Structures are given as C-alpha cells and as structure tokens.
Chain A
Amino acid sequence: MWGLRVTVACYRAFGRFLSRPLILAVVGYFFATDRGGRAASRAYLERVHARIAEPTWSPGPWQSFLHFCEFGLSIADRISLWGGDQDRFEFVFHGREHFKKLSEQGKGAILFGAHLGSFDALRVLSVQDRVTVNVLMYTRHAPKINEVFRKISPDVDVRVISADPDSARTTFEIKACIDRGEWVAILGDRVEPSDRNRVCEAEFLGETATFPEAPFLLPVILGCPALMILALRRGGGVYEVFAEPLGEGEAGRAPAEERGRRAQELAASYAARLEHYCCVAPRQWFNFYDFWARNPS
C-alpha cells in the first residue's frame, strides 16, 4: 500500500516529465534481466504477426523492447490518471450505447477486460454514467486501496473487490453488486492459482489457451449481461475505448444443464475478440509469460 501512496506522491511532487524517464529506466532494467519475459513477448508477437494480413513490423528484440516500453508507459498513464491528471486524457468511445442502455435500465452487468491496453476507461464510465463500477482484483488490500482512490478522486465511484480464494464471500459480493444494478469488471485473460479447478479452453492466436471459467459462469448463473471493454492507447493522451456485448448477454439465468456450454461459448467469444484487439494494438497485451502453457504459472 505504501508503494501506491509513494508513487502517487512522487508523481504529484515531480510531475509526469520526471516520472516517465524513471519508469522507462525501470522498464529497461526489467527488459535486460527478465529473460522469461523477453521470450514470452517474442513468442506472443510472433503469433500476432502471423495473424495480421499486412504487418508493418517483424518480431524481434526491438519489438519486444517496445512491448516492454508500452507496458511502462501504460503504468505511467495510470499513475497520471489516478494522480488527478485526468484532464490530460481523452477517452474516445466505440459502443458507448451498450453502457448507456444498461445504466438507463439500472441493470447490473459483468464487464470483461483484459491485460490489454488500459482498464481505466471504467473511471470515465463511472463518472459519466453515474454508476458504481467494482473491479475484481487479486489483493488483500481492497479497503485501503479504496480509501486511497476515494481521497484522490472523490467523484469517481470505482471500488475494488478482493478476490479471496479461500472464501465464497467474493462471489457473494459480486452477486450483491449485480443485484444492486452495479457493474463488476473482471480481467478474463489470466488464470490465477485459485482458478485452477475451474478452467476452460478457447482458441487464441492460433492455439488452444486456458482461460478461467468462473468469470464466464457468473453472467450465466446470475442471468446478467456480459460486455467486453478494452481501452487502447493511441498516444498523446488519447485512448480508444471499445465496448461490445459478449455472447447472449441478456439471455437470463441459464438452466443447470446449459451453464457449462454457455460459459464455454462466452469464453470462446471473449478469446476471439481479444485476438482481434491484440492484432489492432499488438504491443499492448501485458501477459509476459507463456500464455499457452498447459499449466500456466
């Protein structure tokens, strides 16, 4: 927690012009020392490269370095945004009508994000659509993070829910949020250790990959819409936000015998759209490990 406070304090004290070189220096260090990360970046970029019709770049050490840099710049933007510098950013929405419809109906929904681009468009949605957005995070410090966020941006109603692998409380909290008509955002492209007993497989960038099943079961069990939301960095403080419904978003609670199939379809649909957006912004996918390993760690 002190790290978050110190980072925001540094940003406020020294500004973005001093923060950015510092972040890039850290990225350079990790690029030089993280062999596994470099290999994962290259393998991923090769897969994306093979899916793009007319690529203007080739996978190699330079592209992997740029991939690492993009990660650093994305963190710099997050700090800047959360540090209260939101006026410097512009979020251009595609598919905004899907959220407007939900907020007008007061409907709860599961929003699927990914480790692609930025997840911070949720802040904008929270303010402009006057809806509470809950973000599921693998942290035990949710109450303290929420406190820091409230102090930084009191007008933003984004809350963190701790994913506690040892308790069903997290799932009940998600249900309660949906019951209240709130939105719950989950990153669907990483299998955490607690997800190991519930995984599903889907084609992603040319090969079967493992995805967590539980997030895709939630809309099926709770009978709420599922949407995908991704914000891609376009430079100059501009982010393009893409929002679209996933699967049979408003099909209601599925009968018991259909739940597994419906969750699998949602995951496949998510993986296909994620692949599409990875090809749109190849260097903005931030999973620096062997994503296609049978037992990802």
Chain B
Amino acid sequence: MAELAGMDAGEIFAFLKDVMEREFDISPEEIRLESDFVEDLDMDSIDAVDLAVAVEEELGVQFETDDLTGLQVMRDVVDLIERKRAGIGG
C-alpha cells in the first residue's frame, strides 16, 4: 500500500498515472491534469469505478458516492485525494 500521508499533489498525480497505466494500459505520456476521463482517456463508468477501487486499495482511503460523482478530469481526482489526505491528517 502506498503512503498517502507524505504525498504532495505532484506525487499523487504520478501515482495516478502509474495506476492508470497498470489498470487501463494508458500511457503516462497521454495523461495530463486537464485530461478528461471520457473525451481524452476514453473511460466509461465501469472504468471509473475500477479506478476508484484501485485507488482505495492502494492508498487505504474510502470514497463516498458523492465524492466520486462529478469527477471529470484528472485534476479533480488529485484534488479529491488531497482532501482525503487532509482528512487523514486530521
């Protein structure tokens, strides 16, 4: 399991790119903070839940439905994980 507490936004983004490459075979070069999940990365709702479960397992966080709904670009996920990290940190 990756250690979320010590990660900054850049490291979270790098971690996500690594997950996306492993889980969906998407090259890290294709992924930018502004990449849209549907338009740019060709992901659908099943991929989205797949990504959520992978991040939960690897970072030890728990997402709620409302956390996940409305995420559109990679930056949204980085921001969400940062908020979760802040929650973990107290």
Interface residues, chain A, with chain B CB atoms under 8 Å away:
167-176, 179, 197-198, 214, 217-218, 221-223, 253, 256, 259
Contact = CB atoms under 8 A, between A and B. Distances in A.
The 4 closest A-B pairs by CB, nearest first: A168-B45, A171-B45, A168-B48, A171-B49
A176 B65 contact: yes
A217 B64 CA distance: 20
A170 B44 CA distance: 12
B12 interface: no
Interface residues of B, number: 20
Interface stretch (B3-11, B28-36, B50-58, B82-90): B50-58
Given A168-B68, A169-B65, A253-B57, A198 B49 contact: no
A105 to B, nearest CB: 19
Nearest to B48: A168
A175 B52 contact: yes
A221 B50 contact: yes
B45 A256 contact: no
Interface of B: 22-25, 44-46, 48-50, 52-53, 57, 62-65, 68-69, 71
A170 B45 contact: yes
B69 A256 contact: no
Taking chain B's interface residues, is the majority helix, strand, or loop, or is none over half, making it mixed?
A: helix
Contacts of A217: 46
Nearest to B23: A256
Contacts of B24: 256
A176 B69 CA distance: 12
11 contacts: A167-B45, A167-B69, A168-B49, A169-B68, A171-B46, A172-B52, A172-B65, A172-B68, A176-B65, A218-B46, A221-B46
Contacts of A169: 65, 68-69
Contacts of A197: 44
B69 A168 contact: yes
A170 B46 CA distance: 10
Given A172-B65, A172-B68, A222 B46 contact: no
B53 A171 contact: no
Contacts of A171: 45-46, 48-49
Contacts of B64: 176
